[in-house]
Chain A
Amino acid sequence: MPILDLCNVTMRFGGLVAVNDLNLKIEPGQLYGLIGPNGAGKTTVFNVITGVYTPTSGSVRFDDADIAGERSGLITRRGIARTFQNIRLFGDMTVLDNVKVAFHCRQSADLAAAVFRTGTHSSEESRVERESRELLHIFNLDGMAGEKARNLPYGSQRRLEIARAMATSPRVLLLDEPAAGMNHHESVQLMELIRWIRDRFGMAVLLVEHNMKVVMGICETVHVLDYGSTIAIGKPAEIQANPKVIEAYLGGA
């Protein structure tokens, strides 16, 4: 049974149909690539899944519950986390605190516990501290834990965004162009990292990416959008040979 199931989703902005009758099913643990030329509606799909937009029609089911139009915070707590195409870190907070914020939604100690410094609060704080540092270690950021997020180099900021999303313990991770602005070496490392965290934590990954090497290298299924409509779904090798995909990217003969 798919963990994330978009059924006949259409998203209109006035006269513009950004996403047209989309059907997308992601199995648990799957690496699913979503590609398409600029303006194909990839980020709109992300925003529909994470509750930023309510779809004009169609249903979004996560773990057999309809989540279309729920608040983003609630959807994250259900188990869908995302990164942003244009990095959105908490710039003035430290790297460590960026990750700690994402742990908040799985914490139970409330404000009163913090003000009176109860035992539950301090034990929970030290657990969050430990788990955050473990995550930073996985993403090779532990040397920068005390640094302000805005002072990090670009590639590290991208990795921190993924680390922060992982801290919400998602079952589906949405990555919006994680390799954007990375050089060849960095994107190869990122590819390995994405595959590794999928194997280690077992969540499904939905990847939007322009870098074909990354998409074709790690995705098990590739979904191609053009002008909001699906033009092909299949294995990377099939997609690369699909004449419709080639036409969408390179233009008709």
Chain B
Amino acid sequence: MRSALLTSGTVALLFVLNALFTGSLVSGFAMPPYILQVLCLAGINIILAVSLNLINGFTGQFSIGHAGFMAIGAYASAYVTVAWGDRFRAATSFLPEFARDGVLLLFALAVGALLAAIAGFFVGVPSLRLRGDYLAIVTLGFGEIIRVFILNIDVVGGARGYSGIPKLANFFWIYLFAAITVVVVSRTVKSSFGRTLIAIREDEIAAEAMGVDTTRSKVISFVLSSAMAGIGGGLFGHYLMYLHTNSFTFIKSIEIIIMIVIGGLGSITGSVLGAILFIALTEGLREFSQYRMVLFSLLLIVIMIVRPQGILGHLEFRHFFGRRRRLAAPTPPVIP
């Protein structure tokens, strides 16, 4: 009951905010387009960072191929709307105009997420046998393979880039999916399955000895993480209306890693914070764009020295605010 209320409340709030920002709620007031775009890109970054944190921060498997899965989601969902959009609209003509757009976007995102998940499965099964640096290099390689593969598909524009994607995503959809990502990841991590992921991060041999199917757990978390990156990519394409493989180089993967390292590996709140901080810094330093990467590197070095666990470490939002939920201690068993 409480969660149903919370869900509909969040959706309504996002809907109203979206209307307010785009200027359709109060005439004469609208968010400057530049700020709105930065906000939307921040939302996409949140999706990417939180999903990558599931695999890098909680499961402890260092993957640097996240941009590859984002690219699959972006291109697959863009292809769905561009190639099948008209037919899809005709089939759903009984719906009002905005609902038709929404349904089309959801369908496109589902296809993108599914394809990214399938790719995640086929990349994860062989690579997750490796550990540490080896896993990092293999995922980096797969990320680049995916990018170059897409670069050579002519129907999605190849090296010209993919243009003509309708603008179906907006503030509402991006933050709706950002909220869904946060909820899914935090519930996953708190579940019994999530505990096996953290156990794998802490000591893989002991986890296996405690009956955890470590390969299965790692692959599931990788697939889930890839699917969410695919959704992030799909929103990215439908927001900017143009895609180019240059947006998905390994630099993009590194950027997502910077977000979660700054925020704290193994903290969802930290990832959200890191994603926002990252885009705020990128935009804030636009005037010094020559030196931006230098400043980023300096920032990372300072954080690694002063606070190697990231800004929040493993702590979450509710550690500082929310009530501490204490479960009543059950009555101890009688020992003979």
Q: Do A and B bind each other?
A: yes
Q: Which residues of A contact B (CB under 8 A)?
A: 50, 71-74, 76-77, 81-82, 84, 88-93, 97, 100-107, 109-111, 114-115, 117, 121, 124-125, 128-130, 133-134, 137-138, 142, 164-165, 167-168, 200
Q: How far is the CA of A129 from the CA of B198 in the complex (A)?
A: 17
CB contact between A101 and one of B3, B190, B195 (< 8 Å): that residue? B195
Whether B292 is near chain A, meaning CB under 8 Å from some CB there, is no
Nearest B residue to A199 via CB reads B336
Q: How far is the CA of A164 from the CA of B63 in the complex (A)?
A: 30
Q: How far is the CA of A71 from the CA of B211 in the complex (A)?
A: 9
For chain B residues 319-335, which have a beta carbon within 8 Å of chain A?
327, 329-330, 332-333, 335
Residues of A within 8 A of B211 (CB): 73, 76-77, 81, 102, 104-106, 168
Most buried by A among B196, B210, B333: B210
Known: A73-B208, A92-B314, A117-B3. A101 touches B199 (CB 8 A): yes
Q: How far is the CA of A125 from the CA of B195 in the complex (A)?
A: 12
Q: Can you spell out 20 A-B residue pairs with CB atoms less than 8 angstroms apart?
A: A71-B208, A81-B209, A81-B210, A84-B206, A90-B198, A93-B202, A100-B195, A104-B193, A105-B210, A114-B188, A114-B193, A115-B188, A125-B192, A128-B192, A129-B327, A133-B329, A133-B330, A133-B332, A134-B333, A164-B210
CB contact between A105 and one of B212, B327, B335 (< 8 Å): that residue? B212
Nearest B residue to A109 via CB reads B192
Q: How far is the CB of B212 from chain A (nearest CB, A)?
A: 6
Q: How far is the CB of B23 from chain A (nearest CB, A)?
A: 36
- Asked whether A89 lies within 8 Å of B206 as measured between CB atoms, the reply is yes
CB contact between A137 and one of B202, B332, B336 (< 8 Å): that residue? B332
Q: How far is the CA of A72 from the CA of B332 in the complex (A)?
A: 32
Q: How far is the CB of B198 from chain A (nearest CB, A)?
A: 6
Known: A50-B209, A76-B211, A104-B192. A93 touches B332 (CB 8 A): no
Complex A-B, nearest 6 residue pairs according to Cβ-Cβ distance, in ascending order: A105-B211, A114-B191, A76-B211, A90-B202, A88-B206, A137-B332
Nearest A residue to B198 via CB reads A93
- Asked whether A88 lies within 8 Å of B203 as measured between CB atoms, the reply is yes
CB contact between B199 and one of A76, A81, A90 (< 8 Å): that residue? A90
Whether B240 is near chain A, meaning CB under 8 Å from some CB there, is no
Q: How far is the CB of A195 from chain B (nearest CB, A)?
A: 13
Most buried by A among B206, B209, B214: B209
Most buried by B among A72, A100, A137, A164: A72
Q: How far is the CA of A122 from the CA of B329 in the complex (A)?
A: 17
Q: How far is the CA of A192 from the CA of B330 in the complex (A)?
A: 25
Q: How far is the CA of A84 from the CA of B203 in the complex (A)?
A: 12
Known: A73-B214, A92-B202, A117-B187. A103 touches B333 (CB 8 A): no
Residues of B within 8 A of A74 (CB): 213
The contact string, 1 if C-beta is below 8 Å from chain A, for chain B 100-112, is 0000000000000
Nearest B residue to A76 via CB reads B211
- Asked whether B196 lies within 8 Å of A101 as measured between CB atoms, the reply is yes
Whether B280 is near chain A, meaning CB under 8 Å from some CB there, is no
Q: Which residues of B contact A (CB under 8 A)?
A: 3, 184, 187-188, 190-196, 198-199, 201-203, 205-214, 220, 224, 314, 327, 329-330, 332-333, 335-336
Residues of A within 8 A of B184 (CB): 115
- Asked whether A73 lies within 8 Å of B213 as measured between CB atoms, the reply is yes
Q: How far is the CB of A58 from chain B (nearest CB, A)?
A: 22
Most buried by A among B188, B192, B213, B224: B192
9 additional contacts, CB 8 Å, given A73-B214, A84-B209, A92-B201? A84-B206, A90-B203, A91-B202, A93-B195, A93-B202, A97-B198, A111-B220, A115-B184, A128-B192
Q: How far is the CB of B62 from chain A (nearest CB, A)?
A: 17
Known: A124-B192, A130-B330, A137-B332. A101 touches B210 (CB 8 A): yes
Nearest A residue to B213 via CB reads A73
Most buried by A among B184, B193, B327, B336: B193
- Asked whether B210 lies within 8 Å of A114 as measured between CB atoms, the reply is no
Q: How far is the CA of A102 from the CA of B188 in the complex (A)?
A: 17
Residues of A within 8 A of B3 (CB): 117
Q: How far is the CA of A137 from the CA of B334 in the complex (A)?
A: 10
- Asked whether B329 lies within 8 Å of A92 as measured between CB atoms, the reply is no
Residues of B within 8 A of A111 (CB): 188, 191, 193, 220, 224
Q: How far is the CA of A106 from the CA of B196 in the complex (A)?
A: 13
Nearest A residue to B217 via CB reads A104
- Asked whether B199 lies within 8 Å of A88 as measured between CB atoms, the reply is no
Q: How far is the CA of A77 from the CA of B327 in the complex (A)?
A: 29
Q: How far is the CA of A142 from the CA of B208 in the complex (A)?
A: 25
